[in-house]
Chain A
Amino acid sequence: MTAAAELRLDLAGLRTAPAQVWGGIRLVPLVRDAPVPGLRLHREQYGEGYGVVDVAPHTVYTSYIPHGFVADWSGAGDAAAYGTQLRGEQAAASTSARVPVEAVPVRVHRRMARRQGRRRLRFLPLHLALEGYLALHFGGPAVAWEEWSQRALRRGLSPRVEEAYAGLEVQGLGDALRVFEIHPGQCGLLLYTADALTAAFAVPHPDDYRALHATLVHDLYGELVHHYALLSAPVPDFVPRLDAAAVSSTADLRAALAGQRAAWADFHAGTMAAGLLAPAYAARTVHRAGDFTLLRFLPAFRPRTENHVGEAITTADGRLAYLKTFRLSEAQTRRGHLLSTLAAHDWSLPRAAEALGRSEADLRTRLAGAGFAALLKHRPHAPR
């Protein structure tokens, strides 16, 4: 893995089409005028049960992993993505037929991203990005200051655990995706719950999108997404308003229509998606294949702002061929923020506390509150 490079997400080549609303969920389609040449994505089904991934020696990542993506840059651009038709046989074969009842099936994956043949790469969508977040300063204190416990020095942050909800548990998401009308040429989707940007998804080819649209319901979503979807009132449509006084011919009317479309796209990119597109991300390359680069990125972990972790495949000219993001909840952002601040100050508690503008005791309480109590030699009283 290489050193982190700065990345800014840029939806160049992806047009924003009008949003569709279902209850508290707003789906904004992204349309490509031409598919990205030379790259296709397919889905590999793993069925029910846990997935265990070897990410490094003596380190595993365990999660519910229903499917993986296969990136194929063999140039067979006209081939159709296979998707749902394999579901019946594979799911049945892996769960009901072979695995006895009341057992939890476990599937072991080797590495998050792994070559499968000369021009194919299998990777686990979203888990790749999340593992990047979980592995953040996973080794623990780099300098053995006396405040840190023996366990922190020996084993680092292990085991590092985060919780997420499956898309099926997000209220209304399944229905919203079912009744969504896929645009011709659509290659991506931005998902909003209660008008908070939740997830971004983009693929290189419209056929891939059609096959993978339904996989959004199997993805992981943070607790913020789950709660917003549960508690949100229905969000309103953005209904266009035409100025009747300015219209004196059908050509004027047509121009007004085009103006409304452009205004929506600008508003969306400049306001609604600004939290995703404006900040800089720290990106690390996971795999390089021909002209394409698979990378994952972490946000700056600023508390009380939008923070997305994600993964992307970029083309040689830096455009996005594939994008998938996960929105961190506020608690997850805070954990990232604490860890990065500590790491930036060589894990020295007094210096980190100073940088945060707080007392050392305060920082200890915050560390314990964030779930890192085991790192400290002398634990503070649990906060109420």
Chain B
Amino acid sequence: MPAEGLVAAEDVLLFANAAITATAQREFHGGAAEQRMSLDFLHAYMLGNYRDLYAAVLALGINDHNAALVIHGLLATAGEATPRQRHLEGRLIARRFALLPPQRGYALVAALREAKVNNRRTRAIVRDWLAARPDLALDAVKYRTGLKTALRHAHLPPPSAELGDFLFRPRARARYTAPLLDTWRRAHYEQGAVHELPFTVAEGFAARHGIARAAFLERIAPRMTRGERLRLQESARREGAAAVRADLTAMPLTRLASYVLGLPLPDRAARRAELTAALRAAARRAAGPEAGTWGRVAAVLDDSFSAYASGHKRRRPLAVALAAHFLLAELGAAYAPYWTSGRRDALPAVPHGATPLGERVLDALEPRPDRLVIVSDGWDNAPPGMAAEVLRVWHERLDPHGRVSVVHLNPVYDADTFTVRRLSPTVPTAGIRDAEDLPVLTGLARFAAGRTGLPELRAHLDARVAAFLAPVPEEGAAP
């Protein structure tokens, strides 16, 4: 049944694109409620119709929000799985669960508890996840409610009597032997102890003790995580706490691009050398062995006003475009960027103006590069639909053999169509969340051209699942 196979392949790709991009947050063109409703429907539809493919999508690098939803969906309907499905599902869930950031993991357990999902498999997965957490004492301090909920929900005894007392009988002991737990106890009355706690916990104590923000930031700096340091660097500098310094060269590419776009233009100009070097280093790391292997690359990058996204995900599409700009510069032997606004310099990018994608695509195609990558939310509006026409005529008349490979990557989920907006039926489109995934996604996008059937897609998914489940020696968390 090839037609049915095509439909299934289309559905899976639609869902994969949604699960990579959608975060159920407000977007430029749609509200949060709309996004959430659209995404919930899509999850229910996939779970009901293609359970094994739905589980396999966990191996595809979907974002954490959707991974949590998929795990939740699979666990809630565990009884409907066949024994064979159940085995693979269990391994996929356990593997993806371990990759979730701890706050999302605990939130997922809380959501499962709220939904009264408490089958044996859920309990086993939570048990294994907790057993693999590197430091439960830290979790007990930092995610106190989350850990309590998880232990209760999975019917687990506390890992040690002391931790049990800490969580469930906080007044039972005068002091603790575990240093972190005891620091937490002392922090209630001793200002010095506050600065030995994790930052988020210490922040509350600092407010209670009335510690000045600048002094607090100065002393807590060594205890901050990488993300916290990046997030607080600018506000700490305004407060006068110079100790909070993020090491920009070690940051992931898209995160770094977001940070750069959050800086005011004069700062970006003043720190141009430092920021460019950091972005290049991150791009080189993301490119890895593929660096310089893509031939002559052109990119059409969308910096129109809609790249601002919303107050929830500020400038995310623009950050993806900026990150893709630096990544493609590393991947290609020669590289030419074409911003929709016509800017030549990427660093001072601001989301502003209309989206004349048609003209930019033509500008990019004219020198006949080997590859063209379009990073845009697909709202082509000056004039609307011109990019599709240009690409159609290009394929029909000027490049009938398809020597230039064109791919469209879209960072924005469109709630109305249940997937990312396409530019043209002739060009494959894939959703993108982090620019680092760009090489992988261009591979996935070839399925989106609509010509590849389910068997090929299934083979691709099986290969990705096998690679995902293969034991990784350096990762200590995996059993």
Contact = CB atoms under 8 A, between A and B. Distances in A.
B365 A250 contact: yes
A264 B356 CA distance: 15
B353 A182 contact: yes
Interface string A16-54: 011111000000010000000000000000000000000
Given A244-B393, A254-B362, A181 B386 contact: no
B393 A184 contact: no
Contact of A247 (B366, B382, B393): B393
A247 to B, nearest CB: 5
A181 B304 contact: yes
Given A240-B389, A244-B397, A248-B397, A261 B29 contact: no
Contacts of A249: 398
Contacts of B390: 242, 253, 257
Contact of A237 (B358, B365, B384, B392): B384
A19 B380 CA distance: 11
Contact of B358 (A181, A248, A257): A257
A186 to B, nearest CB: 9
A254 B392 CA distance: 14
Given A21-B384, A239-B384, A239-B385, A181 B354 contact: yes
Interface string B351-366: 0111100110010011
A183 B398 contact: no
Interface in A173-197: 179, 181-184
B381 to A, nearest CB: 5
Contacts of B365: 250
A253 B398 contact: yes
B414 to A, nearest CB: 13
Contacts of B385: 237, 239-240
A183 B358 contact: no
B382 A17 contact: yes
Contacts of A244: 392-393, 396-397
A260 interface: yes
Contacts of B306: 179, 181
B398 to A, nearest CB: 7
B389 A242 contact: yes
A256 B393 CA distance: 11
A24 to B, nearest CB: 16
Q: Which of A19, A181, A238, A256 has the most CB of B within 10 A?
A: A181
A150 B384 CA distance: 60
Contacts of A19: 383-384
A334 B341 CA distance: 47
A58 interface: no
A241 interface: yes
B305 interface: yes
Contacts of A21: 384
A18 B358 CA distance: 12
Nearest to B305: A181
Contacts of B392: 242, 244
B397 A247 contact: yes
Nearest to B29: A179
A182 B305 contact: yes
Contacts of A248: 397-398
Interface of A: 17-21, 29, 179, 181-184, 237-242, 244-245, 247-250, 253-254, 256-257, 260-261, 264
16 contacts: A18-B382, A19-B383, A181-B353, A183-B353, A183-B354, A183-B382, A239-B385, A241-B389, A242-B389, A245-B397, A247-B397, A247-B398, A248-B397, A253-B390, A253-B393, A260-B386
